[in-house]
């Protein structure tokens, strides 16, 4: 059978794994978007820029910060920024929510979309101006260099680490929102914020924290992506459209949907890259069209 397809079983397995790795990025990014949309009803187009900010913080922390604070040689290593970057980007995003996004909640979705899209352009433009269009290279942390080799198959340890970490974070987020008390408060807030407020819950604070957390997830994905992709100002804008397609296929606002479709579509895209590579950038959108025709609310979405 494999001979018919013109590919060895080993090669197919390695391609499936590569697809799964890309899928875990899609899952992590679409998860953040789904959380923000599901709980805030905001279509967050700044997500790609926040992903880029995460990667930028990682790069700045490794190469620039020493000079900035006047202690050459001082570095923030990968594992430190893996925690620090999401925190910083989360705080920055909460500032955006408090000062700008908050004013648009009573308006149509479209206004939030326009604001976040504009912000993304501004942030990316500034970083391109400061750090150039070609971007910079971020090395794979020493601890995770090298890889497993089994015949033709070569799997870098770093990629395995990415899948492992992404799955843990995805599961933890899902568990937190769907299975804990605090998560149920969040969900109640989207159903009926007034009633929740009447029960003495500070709803605006919850909303701000949720937005911050969703964006922190993007930054977390950004730090994980830094050693794999080139760290450039536009790294997020290349990815964001695909991630939106993932969210639409999974069902807007569905957290489990975002995770499962993210992983699944990574694999589908990976296989397209083997059998008909020219179509690899459109395969996800073809699936999106088919899904929307058959099930307009998405695979895991609830029809209103």
Partner 1 sequence: MKKTLIATAVASCLMVATIPAHAQTVSDNEVRIGVLTDLSGIYSAIEGPGAVLAAQMAAKDFGGQVLGKKIVITSADTQSKADLSSSKAREMFEKDKVDMIVGNVSTASALAAMEVAEQFKRVSIVNGAASLQITNEKCTPYSIHYVYDTYALSRGTGKAVVDSGKKTWFFVTADYAFGHTLERDTTEVIVANGGKVLGGVKHPINTTDFSSFMAQAQASKAEVIGLANAGGDTIGSVKQAAELGIMGSKQTVVPLLMFTSDIQALGLKQTAGMTFTEGWYWDFNDANRKFADRFMKEFKGKAPTSVQAGVYSATMQYLKAVEATKTDNSDAVMKQLKSVEINDGLFKGKIRADGKFEHDMYLLEVKSPGESKGPNDVAKVAKVIAAKDATLPLSQSKCKLVTN
Stretch of 27-35, 165-173, 182-190, 222-230 lying at the interface with partner 1 (CB under 8 A): 222-230
Give CA–CA dist 297/288, Å, rounded. 11
Quote the least distance from Cβ 270 to partner 1, whole Å.
Answer: 6
Closest distance to partner 1 from the beta carbon of 282 (Å): 8
Q: Which of residues 98-127 bind partner 1 (CB under 8 A)?
A: 125
63 binds partner 1 (CB under 8 A): no
Q: Give the separation between CA 262 and CA 259, rounded to whole angstroms.
A: 5
Counting contacts by CB under 8 A, is residue 164 touching partner 1?
Answer: no
d(CA 35, CA 255): 7
Among 158, 211, 244, 300, binds partner 1 (CB under 8 A): 158
* DSSP secondary structure string for all residues of 12-46: HHHHHHHHHHHHHHHHHHHHHHHHHHHHH----TT
For residue 136, the cross-strand partners are: 231
- 133 binds partner 1, rule: CB under 8 A: yes
Instruction: Please say which residue, 177 or 243, places its beta carbon nearer to partner 1.
Output: 243
Q: What is the 3-state secondary structure (H, E, C) of 155-212?
A: EEHHHHHHHHHHHHHHHHHHHHHHHCHHHHHHHHHHHCHHHHHHCCCCHHHHHHHHHH
Nearest to partner 1 of 25, 174 (CB atom): 25
CB contact at 8 A, 35 and 217: yes
CA terminus-to-terminus distance, the chain: 44
Measured from the CB of residue 119, what is the shortest distance to partner 1 in angstroms?
18
Contact residue for partner 1 among 149, 205, 293, 303 (CB under 8 A): 149
- Is 128 among the residues that bind partner 1 (CB under 8 A)? yes
**Of 135, 214, 251, 262, which lies in the binding site for partner 1, with binding defined by CB under 8 A?**
135
Choose between 162 and 203: whose C-beta lies nearer to partner 1: 162
79, 91, 126, 152: which one contacts partner 1 (CB under 8 A)? Answer: 152
In the complex with partner 1, the residue whose CB is nearer, 197 or 281, is 281
CB of 18: closest distance to partner 1 in angstroms? 5
**Nearest residue to 41 via CA among 116, 118, 93:** 116
- The HSE-up count of residue 288 (CA atoms within 13 Å, CB side) is 17
Compute the chain's Rg from CA coordinates: 20
Regarding 229 and contact with partner 1 (CB under 8 A), the answer is yes
The window from 30-38, 110-118, 128-136, 244-252 that contacts partner 1 (CB under 8 A) reads 128-136
Number of Cβ atoms within 10 Å of the Cβ of 213: 21
* Cβ–Cβ < 8 Å for 52, 127: yes
Pairing of strands 153-156, 147-150: antiparallel
Regarding 44 and contact with partner 1 (CB under 8 A), the answer is no
- Give CA–CA dist 151/243, Å, rounded: 33
Query: Toward partner 1, which CB reaches closer, 18 or 85?
Result: 18
**What residues from 248 to 287 belong to the interface with partner 1 (CB under 8 A)?**
270, 273-274, 277-282
User: Which positions touch partner 1 (CB under 8 A)?
Assistant: 8, 11, 14-15, 18-19, 21-22, 125, 128-129, 132-137, 139-140, 147, 149, 152, 154, 156, 158-159, 228-230, 232, 234-235, 238-239, 270, 273-274, 277-282
């Amino acid at each position: 059978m494999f001979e018919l397809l013109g590919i060895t079983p080993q090669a197919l397995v390695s391609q499936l794994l590569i697809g799964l790795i890309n899928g875990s990025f899609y899952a992590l990014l679409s998860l953040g978007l789904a959380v923000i949309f599901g709980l805030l009803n905001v279509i967050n187009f700044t997500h790609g820029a926040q992903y880029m900010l995460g990667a930028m913080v990682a790069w700045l922390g490794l190469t620039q910060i020493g000079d900035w604070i006047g202690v050459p040689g001082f570095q923030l290593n990968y594992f430190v920024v893996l925690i620090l970057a999401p925190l910083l980007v989360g705080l920055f995003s909460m500032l955006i929510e408090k000062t700008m996004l908050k004013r648009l909640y009573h308006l149509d979705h479209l206004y939030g979309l326009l604001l976040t899209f504009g912000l993304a352009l501004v942030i990316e433009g500034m970083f391109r101006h400061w750090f150039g269009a070609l971007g910079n290279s971020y090395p794979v942390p020493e601890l995770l260099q090298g890889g497993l080799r089994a015949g033709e198959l070569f799997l870098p340890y770093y990629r395995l680490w990415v899948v492992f970490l992404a799955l843990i974070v995805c599961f933890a987020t899902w568990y937190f929102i769907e299975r804990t008390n605090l998560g149920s408060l969040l969900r109640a807030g989207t159903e009926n914020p007034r009633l929740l407020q009447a029960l003495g819950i500070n709803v605006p604070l919850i909303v701000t924290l949720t937005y911050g957390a969703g964006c922190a997830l993007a930054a977390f994905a950004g730090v994980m992506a830094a050693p794999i992709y080139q760290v450039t100002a536009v790294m997020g804008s290349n990815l964001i459209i695909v991630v939106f397609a993932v969210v639409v296929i999974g069902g807007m606002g569905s957290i489990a949907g975002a995770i499962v479709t993210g992983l699944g579509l990574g694999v589908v895209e990976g296989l397209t890259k083997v059998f008909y590579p020219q179509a690899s950038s459109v395969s996800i959108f073809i699936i999106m069209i088919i899904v929307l025709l058959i099930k307009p609310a998405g695979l895991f979405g609830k029809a209103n």
